[in-house]
Amino acid sequence: MKRNLPRLGFVGAGTVATSLACALHGKGYPVVAVASRTYSSAQKLSVFIPCAQAYEDKQQVVDNADIVFITTPDDAIATVAGELKWQTGKYAVHCSGADTSELLEKAASGGAVTGVMHPLQTFAGMEQAKNSLLGITFSLEAREPLLSILKKMASVLGGKSMVIAPEDRALYHASAVMVCNYLVTLVKLSADLWSDFGVTREESVRALAPLIKGTISNLETVGLPGCLSGPISRGDTGTIRKHLAALSQCHADIVSTYADLGLQTIPIALEKGKIDAAMAREIEKIMKNRGNEGSRI
């Protein structure tokens, strides 16, 4: 254990707490106390960290740690902060993406310095959660000296940090939900189409995964707008019409999703420069008419 590092505690022993606690312990931070709604969850987390004590009473976390991460679901954070007795010298931090440090108002009025440390990563389960922090961005909101402490933590974990102002957090988190959760939704919708020609969801996801990974790799290496491929970027209106006709016949419920995302894709294709304004207008017309020839916009 390294000297002069703050003692850490966690209230709420779920996936993010497990990931952060294990990673910070691995970097020498003393994770000393864990509590949760159920004692068994706190015990499960503490098993990974020899110096961590699981407590039934969450007040013990505040009493024994310098920095207390409140890693409950977002809707419980303010209530939990209000149930605890704080004092000057303590730090209270939550990990929500959309919420500001205002949620910890009760901790602040009790004397604690409050802040937000949101890991911009997806944690779907305990096992996967333990190794998900390397290279990620942590969005922070805190006053000094807490801001510097959290910046150092992010850096020690091999991540980057950026300060997101309270008024920008909802937009920031909406972007994370679109890119992460809605990717899952798009994969599910795509797999549904494969079931029409007899391929199971498991098989189709396995087949689609390299395409998704290739797209992500191109985003990282080539960037926007150069990484865009496909019929819109080429101006292949015949292919787009075929898609809309097939979807209208078999999956009318997702025609509007296909067309609306297509409309949002046109400016990227224009920016890439492979289609001109006339072609962009033509594709826009097809998308707005949902592929119905002869209809008017």
Closer residue to ligand NAP in complex, CB, 177/211? 177
Footprint on residues 15-34 left by ligand NAP (CB under 6 A):
15-17
Task: Determine contact, residues 90/115, Cβ cutoff 8 Å.
Answer: no
Q: Which residue number, 22 or 240, has a Cβ lying nearer to ligand NAP?
A: 22
Determine which residue in the list 28, 73, 145, 267 makes contact with ligand NAP, applying CB under 6 A. Answer: 73
Place of tokens 């009318």: 252
**Shortest reach from residue 203's CB to ligand NAP, in Å:** 27
Q: Which of 49, 81, 95, 279 binds ligand NAP (CB under 6 A)?
A: 95
Q: Which one, of 99, 6, 9, lies nearest residue 54 by Cα?
A: 9
Q: Which residue, 20 or 227, has its beta carbon nearer to ligand NAP?
A: 20
Cis before 145 (ω within 30): yes
**Binding to ligand NAP (CB under 6 A): which residues in 154-193?**
none
- The stretch among 71-79, 154-162, 194-202, 280-288 that binds ligand NAP (CB under 6 A) is 71-79
| Pick 84 or 269: Cβ nearer ligand NAP | 84
Number of residues that bind ligand NAP (CB under 6 A): 26
The reply to whether 12 sits near ligand NAP by the rule CB under 6 A is yes
Q: Specify the residue, 120 or 232, whose C-beta has the smaller distance to ligand NAP.
A: 120
Q: Which residue has the tokens 């549904």?
A: 192
172 vs 194, which CB is nearer to ligand NAP? 172
Q: Report in angstroms how near the CB of residue 153 gets to ligand NAP at its nearest.
A: 15
Q: Does 76 bind ligand NAP (CB under 6 A)?
A: yes
Nearer to ligand NAP, 114 or 265 (CB): 114
- The reply on whether position 137 binds ligand NAP by CB under 6 A is no
Residues 96-135 that bind ligand NAP (CB under 6 A): 96-97, 118-119, 121-123
With helix as H, strand as E and coil as C, how does the chain read?
CCCCCCCEEEECCCHHHHHHHHHHHHCCCCEEEEECCCHHHHHHHHHCCCCCEECCCCHHHHHHCCEEEECCCHHHHHHHHHHCCCCCCCEEEECCCCCCHHHHHHHHHCCCEEEEEEECCCCCCHHHHCCCCCCCEEEEEECCCHHHHHHHHHHHCCCEEEECCHHHHHHHHHHHHHHHHHHHHHHHHHHHHHHHCCCCHHHHHHHHHHHHHHHHHHHHHCCCCCCCCCHHHHCCHHHHHHHHHHHHHHCHHHHHHHHHHHHHHHHHHHHHCCCCHHHHHHHHHHHHCCCCCCCCC
Stretch that binds ligand NAP, among 66-74, 153-161, 199-207, 239-247 (CB under 6 A): 66-74
Residues engaged in binding ligand NAP (CB under 6 A): 11-17, 36-38, 41, 71-74, 76, 80, 94-97, 118-119, 121-123
